[in-house]
Amino acid sequence: MHNIFHIAGYVLITVGVVYNLIAAIAVMRYSSPLSRLIASTKALAFGTVLVIGGAIVINGWSAMGVKSLLCLIFAVVTAPVEAHALLRSWYKSAATPLTTQNRRHHETI
């Protein structure tokens, strides 16, 4: 029974890390700040929850598991604040999104 929890925890951690890696690549690839915002917040909402959930499954209800649960709750509660701050800073800066046409212009300079 002990090994089943370890295997399940490692599977959760692996899936979460792969999901976060894909989200990081998406943040680099997207040109629109709104698309980047969606990719980064979805990574936190799903990938990080899986990684911390895997740590909870592996450690059980020990001190480490309870601390991991507190980190999980903190990450989920603060995700909307992060998204709001990122979007507000982009809006206040009045920056134009880097589109394909703008990128070509910047490459020629």
Q: What is the distance between the alpha carbons of residues 16 and 22, in angstroms, rounded to a whole number?
A: 10
pLDDT at 96: 63
Which residues have a Cβ under 8 Å from the Cβ of 47 and sit 6 or more positions away? 16, 17, 19, 20, 23
109: which DSSP letter? -
Q: What is the distance between the alpha carbons of residues 56 and 23, in angstroms, rounded to a whole number?
A: 23
Q: What is the distance between the alpha carbons of residues 80 and 107, in angstroms, rounded to a whole number?
A: 35
pLDDT at 87: 78
| pLDDT digit string (tens) for the chain, length 109 residues | 678 999 999 999 999 999 999 888 888 888 777 777 888 787 778 888 999 999 999 988 888 888 888 988 988 888 788 778 877 877 777 666 655 555 555 555 5
Q: What is the distance between the alpha carbons of residues 81 and 85, in angstroms, rounded to a whole number?
A: 6
Note the pTM of the prediction, 2 decimals.
0.73
Which residues have a Cβ under 8 Å from the Cβ of 72 and sit 6 or more positions away? 49, 52, 53, 56
pLDDT at 105: 56
Burial (0-12, 13-18, 19+ Cβ within 10 Å), 67: middle
